[in-house]
């Protein structure tokens, strides 16, 4: 795709009069079960006869891109990390609020956070529980007003103000978060990985294990594949929103940067991408791009470097000389050192090295979409192939800046969903099919703590788990089930809807 073609794709996406929903249903060649997971999940959620809380709501945006599926768990994560303008906090009654301790994340029934400590209008600090909701009326809708488990609640934290609030019956302070978030809600939604937050003990096995044990391996695989399709489409919807907001090249750039940041640093990586947009860096010399990246990130040395190795000292000086020209216009976008999480990171995955990889990639590919057709990267550099950080020791052997394992993860999580979203935006059914087929053929990725825990809860000590999760699609499906059901269950599995989904599955 040349530059003009790229502009026409971006223009078509920006100009289309109505949003094209991203679903599997239009792809007729897929198995009948492809969309069954989503349909059953949503039907169970909407069944008013079931006494379970609504776990997700859509944030309707005035912009022409997709609404956000904001969940209570996202709001819990925001509260837990205190992603708030803490100096400005006020209760709904206008009283100054100071959060001394957000509380302990409750993994069982009852209030969301236990033993939180707050101070209101300088009065003596009080300790108690905190309950989280999307809207204030959920307090009564969920039956908390008559539940003694909630008698120690000292603060009701609510995301949105609505006309359904009941200020006349409030027996404790209410905090509306929408006015005090430290970043736009969309940015928080994109940067917070809700699966990384506290989850149940590894000793706990889900009630669903008994249901799944009655199925054949192929039947369980069918459910996982269908859930994997839903997760793929969720990623495509995210790409679609970014494309409509910023254009395809910038959207892909932000997605790749986020992926290079891994779970720990995806937010600062995306901030760097927004501060130095693709339109500014595409095709520029790699050192010019990297100097801006490292300067904004706060990774260029500010102290004496005489003890550095000569090659590292000379290289850092070259980058500093370039950064000095851009520093004035970018000074208000500088990240703080505390924005980065550098502990427990493998040296080869250090953010400095990953930023260098993107700088080289941006220098080589003015049209970033060209890399998604053959995502092997194969990036080499005389300095970074032998160094993990600017002042780190030189390695005896070169190593890939983006290895095969990471490249495959980027394909599954970013590049293939992006291709699907672009094809969907221009009505290219063949392009959608090809992207989804490639996703379905991807072999399994590296495991992680969430996959291990989810597999333990759903399958127990089964010896066939590794074979069952032999594709990326099934791993992604397990992630989706864990997110949709395990993370939202507060009843020790007793009221979880997933066993009902399994029972209603049509094989």
- pLDDT tens sequence across 86-116: 999 999 999 999 999 898 888 778 899 998 9
Residue closest to 414 by CA, chosen among 340, 492, 476, 503: 476
Query: 430-441 burial, b if ≥16 CB within 10 A, otherwise e?
Result: ebbbebbeebbe
Let me know whether 173 and 263 are in one domain: no
In this structure, of 163-167, 295-299, 343-347, 421-425, the range with the lowest mean pLDDT score is 163-167
Which token pair is 348? 């080869």
- Which of 35-49, 83-97, 416-430 shows the lowest mean pLDDT across its residues? 35-49
The pLDDT value given to residue 62? 43
If we measure between CA atoms, which residue out of 408, 268, 252, 420 comes closest to residue 333?
268
Q: So what's the pLDDT on residue 49? A: 38
Is there a single domain that holds both residue 252 and residue 388?
yes
Q: Model confidence over 224-257: pLDDT tens digits?
A: 999 999 999 999 999 999 999 999 999 999 999 9
State the average pLDDT for the chain.
Answer: 86
Tell whether 428 and 303 lie within a shared domain. Answer: yes
284/366 same-domain check: yes
C-alpha closest to that of 424 among 114, 98, 13 = 13
Whether 422 and 290 share a structural domain: yes
Better pLDDT: 206 or 400:
400
**Tokens of residue 122, six digits:** 């300088």
Q: Is the dihedral of CA 445, 436, 458, 132 positive or negative?
A: positive
Domain-located, residue 39: no
Q: Is residue 270, in this structure, part of any structural domain at all?
A: yes
125-184 pLDDT tens trace: 999 999 999 999 889 888 898 888 899 999 999 999 886 555 544 688 999 999 999 999
Which residue bears the tokens 């999480």? 341
Q: Does residue 279 register a pLDDT over 90?
A: yes
pLDDT value at 5 more than 60: no
How large is the greatest C-alpha to C-alpha distance in the chain, in angstroms?
72
**Domain co-membership, 423 together with 294:** yes
Do the beta carbons of residue 478 and residue 224 sit within 8 Å?
A: yes
Q: Is residue 455 part of a domain?
A: no
Q: Which residue has the higher pLDDT, 35 or 129?
A: 129
Residue 28, in any domain of the structure: no
| Beta strand 153-160 pairing with 126-135 | parallel
Of 404, 420, 441, which residue is a domain's last?
Answer: 441
Which of 165, 180, 195 is a domain's end point? 180
- Report pLDDT for 47: 74
Asked if residue 165 belongs to a domain, the reply is yes
Mean pLDDT confidence for 423-448: 94
Given 441, 468, 487, which residue is the final one in a domain? 441
pLDDT over 50 at 1, yes or no: no
Flag whether 492 is in a domain: no
Q: What is the DSSP secondary structure assignment for residue 153, as one 8-state letter?
A: E
Domain tally, the chain? 2
pLDDT of residue 305: 77
274 within some domain: yes
Classify residue 216: in a domain, yes or no: no
Residue 169 and residue 312 in one domain? no
**Residue 168 and residue 263 in one domain:** no
CA 486 centroid distance within chain: 17
Asked if residue 431 and residue 333 are part of one domain, the reply reads: yes
0.95 surpassed by pTM: no
Domain that holds residue 161: 84-180
Based on the fold, state whether residues 173 and 286 are members of the same structural domain. no
């Amino acid at each position: 795709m040349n530059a003009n073609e790229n502009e026409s794709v971006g223009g078509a996406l920006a100009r289309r009069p109505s949003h094209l929903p991203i679903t599997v249903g239009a792809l007729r060649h897929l198995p009948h079960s492809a969309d069954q997971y989503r349909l059953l999940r949503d039907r169970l959620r909407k069944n008013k006869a079931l006494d379970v809380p609504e776990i997700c709501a859509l944030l309707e945006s005035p912009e022409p891109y997709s609404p956000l599926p904001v969940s209570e768990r996202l709001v819990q994560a925001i509260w837990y990390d205190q992603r708030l303008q803490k100096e400005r906090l006020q209760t709904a009654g206008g009283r100054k609020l100071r959060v001394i301790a957000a509380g302990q994340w409750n993994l069982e029934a009852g209030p969301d956070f236990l033993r939180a400590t707050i101070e209101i209008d300088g009065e003596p600090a009080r300790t108690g529980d905190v309950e989280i909701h999307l809207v204030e009326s959920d307090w009564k809708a969920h039956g908390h007003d008559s539940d003694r488990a909630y008698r120690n609640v000292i603060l009701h934290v609510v995301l949105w103000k609505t006309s359904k609030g009941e200020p006349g019956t409030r027996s404790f302070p209410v905090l509306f978060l929408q006015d005090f978030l430290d970043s736009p809600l969309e940015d928080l939604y994109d940067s917070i990985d809700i699966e990384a937050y506290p989850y149940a003990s590894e000793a706990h096995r889900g009630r669903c294990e008994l249901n799944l044990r009655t199925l054949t391996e192929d039947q369980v695989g069918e459910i996982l594949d269908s859930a994997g399709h839903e997760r793929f489409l969720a990623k495509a919807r995210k790409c679609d929103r970014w494309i409509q907001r910023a254009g395809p090249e910038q959207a892909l750039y932000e997605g790749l940067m986020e992926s290079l940041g891994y779970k720990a640093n995806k937010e600062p990586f995306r901030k760097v991408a927004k501060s130095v947009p693709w339109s500014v860096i595409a095709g520029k010399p790699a050192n010019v791009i990297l100097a801006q990246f490292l300067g904004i990130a706060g990774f260029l040395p500010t102290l004496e470097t005489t003890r550095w190795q000569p090659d590292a000292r000379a290289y850092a000086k070259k980058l500093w000389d370039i950064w000095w020209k851009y520093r004035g216009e970018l000074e208000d976008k500088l990240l703080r050192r505390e924005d980065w999480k550098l502990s427990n990171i493998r040296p080869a995955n250090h953010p400095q090295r990953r930023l260098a990889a993107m700088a080289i990639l941006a220098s080589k590919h003015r049209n970033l979409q060209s890399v998604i057709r053959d995502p092997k990267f194969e990036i080499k550099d005389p300095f970074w192939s032998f160094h993990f950080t600017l002042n780190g020791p030189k390695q005896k052997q070169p190593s890939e800046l983006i290895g095969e394992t990471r490249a495959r993860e980027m394909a599954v999580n970013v590049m293939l969903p992006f291709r699907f979203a672009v094809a969907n935006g221009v009505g290219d059914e063949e392009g959608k099919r090809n992207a989804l087929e490639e996703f379905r053929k991807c072999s399994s990725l590296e495991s992680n703590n969430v996959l291990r825990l989810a597999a333990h809860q759903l399958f127990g000590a089964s010896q066939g788990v590794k074979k069952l999760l032999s594709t990326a699609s099934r791993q992604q499906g397990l992630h989706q089930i864990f997110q949709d059901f395990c993370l939202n269950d507060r009843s020790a599995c007793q009221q979880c809807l997933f066993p009902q989904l399994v029972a209603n599955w049509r094989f």
